């Protein structure tokens, strides 16, 4: 996993170093189906982000597993602060209208 940065936080009373993946266009596209259900329940998005975009190590540098299903609200907020929020992801997912095929420097209208 290519790491962008690391943060030292406490999760469930234990020190944890959290590394954040450098997100790409395709990482964001992969969560698009999680954002299209039309509700304000973003739990599937956060589950995906916590388990795919973050990695966790103990103070000795050994990889550890975090039980993301039992995170306290406070610990969950610490992790969400490291990641793009759902509204930012939605902005990135907004589809733009197709560009015109017409060239601005030439015209076939006089033919």
Does residue 108 sit within a domain? no
What Cα–Cα distance (Å) separates residue 78 from each residue in 59, 75, 107? 17, 5, 56
Tokens of 40: 């304000």
pLDDT bin (cut points 50, 70, 90) of residue 101 is: low
Q: What is the pLDDT of residues 51-100, one digit of tens each?
A: 999 999 999 999 999 999 999 999 999 999 999 988 888 888 876 666 66
Angle, nearest 10°, between helix axes 73-80 and 43-52?
Answer: 70
pLDDT bin (cut points 50, 70, 90) of residue 29 is: confident
Asked whether 48 and 91 are in contact (CB, 8 A), the reply is no
User: Given the structure tokens 């017409």, which residue do they identify?
Assistant: 102
What average pLDDT does this structure show over 19-23? 92
Tell me what pLDDT residue 102 has: 61
In a 3-state reduction of DSSP, which class is residue 86? helix
Tell me what pLDDT residue 67 has: 95
Does residue 44 sit within a domain? yes
Does residue 110 sit within a domain? no
Does residue 66 sit within a domain? yes
Does residue 57 sit within a domain? yes
Does residue 9 sit within a domain? yes
Tell me what pLDDT residue 74 has: 96
Range of the domain at 74: 3-93
DSSP string, 6-69: EEEEEETTEEEEEEEE---HHHHHHTHHHH-S-SS--HHHHHHHHHHTEEEE-TTS-B----GG
Does residue 22 sit within a domain? yes
Q: What is the pLDDT of residues 31-51, one digit of tens each?
A: 888 777 777 788 999 999 999
Does residue 105 sit within a domain? no
Number of domains in the chain: 1
> What pTM was estimated for this model as a whole?
0.74
């Amino acid at each position: 996993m290519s790491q962008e940065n690391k943060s030292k936080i406490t999760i469930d009373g234990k020190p944890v170093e959290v590394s954040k993946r450098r997100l790409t266009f395709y990482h964001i596209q992969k969560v698009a189906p999680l954002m299209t259900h039309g509700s304000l329940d973003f739990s599937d998005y956060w589950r995906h982000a916590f388990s795919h975009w973050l990695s966790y190590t103990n103070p000795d540098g050994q990889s550890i597993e975090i039980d993301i299903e039992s995170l306290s609200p406070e610990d969950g907020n610490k992790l969400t602060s490291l990641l793009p929020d759902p509204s930012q992801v939605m902005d990135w997912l907004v589809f733009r209208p197709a560009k015109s095929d017409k060239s601005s420097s030439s015209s076939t209208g006089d033919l």
